[in-house]
Amino acid sequence: MRVWLGMMAVVMIFFGPAAVVDAVGGPPKKAVKSYHEVKHFSGGTFAGTKKRGSTLVLNPETAKRGKDSSGRYNEGTYFYGRWTAPVHGAWFEEAIASWQAVTPAGTWLEVELRGRTKQGWTKWYSMGVWHQNDTPFPRHSVQGQGDEDGDVAVDTLKLEKTSHAVQARITLFTEDLSRTPSLRAYGIAFSKGEDQADRIPSTGPTRALDVPMRSQMVYPDGGEVWCSPTSTSMVMDYWARLTGNREWEQSVPTVVKGVWDHVYDGGGNWPFNTAYAASHGLEAKVVRMGSLAEAERWVQMGVPIIISFAYDEGELTGSPLPSSPGHLLVIRGFDEQGDVLTNDPAAPTNDEVRITYDRQEVERLWLEHSNGTAYLIYPPGWQTPGF
């Protein structure tokens, strides 16, 4: 993007305190952010789906037949099944779903969320129709969902009133019952309110990660808008080199093709980028953080972070672009002053992507324009903070 619990395995991470006192003694700026992840799918309601090992798949014996009359899917017949999660308590105004799945040719999935306010449940909102292939139809976000309760802005559910609970619904589809999507996890990033920059100090210098250097600008056929897939490509290749897993070495054009949202008409759909990395076996999710100090904890443990922000002319010192309504780059470390070591794909050549940015400028732009949105991509089993 530019511009429950019960018997299931659940991870809940809180990003940042709910209230942080201003360094100069002002009133606290309150923000609540958390991340809820579900694996194993032992609870919930199965309708045409089942567990296979620790993953969610279609049950060929109970899957239903459907026909696409709206053009949302394959404009033909298909089989489908659903899994509806238990209700999960969470205070939020915005939510971003991300998922980790494999979709063989002719299969796809759709993730939906609904929130519960004082007035009751909202309708189900689609967070995206996704598959990792080019067929049987283009993957896409869903427009035109707005009502009195809220709307989905490409990949972000924005509610008009605070919700105190959420429910997820996953629908798996196939054109042939001999093939099924396989979902191993999904997560939801919640946020209520916004954090203010420069309230949490730097934790000190961190290691500078050796993330491969790739520029989006070396591609003449659309590269100027490929910041997200270029960043995803760099991080995937970082892990490929570190672990020796060559499957994670994906070129920028290949990643662009695999993340493109054909309704949004761009490569910046946040969960489509993480879903692409996850389809190749990486852990990958979209979260919202409250400060760069939290990002430092991940980098210290060897995990580069992709962040989303925007800036006007003069707001980001040293940037290759004078301004951007929406941009993503890789944070690969922090120096002795706490400033941010990046791989910025907006640089004109591969050799020029390593740019150090002012910490306060980056943190303010990141928190103000995407509320601290970040991609976390790393190998299964890698030690991370908070897990």
pLDDT of the residue at 195: 84
Is residue 73 within 8 Å of residue 131, measured between CB atoms? no
Per-residue b or e along 307-343, where b marks 16 or more CB atoms closer than 10 Å to that residue's CB: bbbbbeeebbeebbeeebebbbbbbbbbeeebbbbbb
What is the pLDDT, as a whole number, of residue 32? Answer: 85
CA–CA dist 205, 199 (Å, integer): 18
Bridge partners of 92, per DSSP, are 163
Tell me what pLDDT residue 205 has: 65
DSSP letters for 199-229: SS----------PPP--GGG-TTTGGG-HHH
Fold match flag (9-192 vs 216-378):
no
Which residues pair with residue 130 across a beta bridge?
109
Q: Which CATH superfamily is domain 9-192 in?
A: Galactose-binding domain-like (2.60.120.260)
216-378 is a CATH 3.90.70.10 domain: yes
Single out the residue of 172, 376, 352 nearest to residue 283, CA to CA: 376
Q: Is the dihedral of CA 322, 327, 331, 337 positive or negative?
A: positive
**Residue ranges per structural domain of the chain:** 9-192, 216-378
pLDDT score recorded for residue 26: 45
Q: Is 274 left (phi over 0), alpha (psi -120 to 50) or beta?
A: alpha
Torsion angle (degrees, nearest 10) of CA 155, 159, 162, 168: -50
Mean pLDDT for each 10-residue chunk of the chain (387 residues)?
39 44 42 92 96 97 96 96 97 98 98 97 98 94 97 98 97 98 98 81 79 97 94 99 98 98 97 99 98 95 98 97 97 95 98 98 97 98 86
Whether the Cβ atoms of residue 366 and residue 307 lie closer than 8 Å to each other: yes
In the numeric block, the tokens 């946040």 are attached to 270
Burial class (CB in 10 A: 0-12, 13-18, 19+), 347: buried
Q: Please report which residue ranges of the chain form alpha helices under DSSP H.
A: 227-243, 252-259, 270-279, 292-300, 359-370
pLDDT at 223: 86
Joined together, the tokens standing for residue 46 give 């199965």
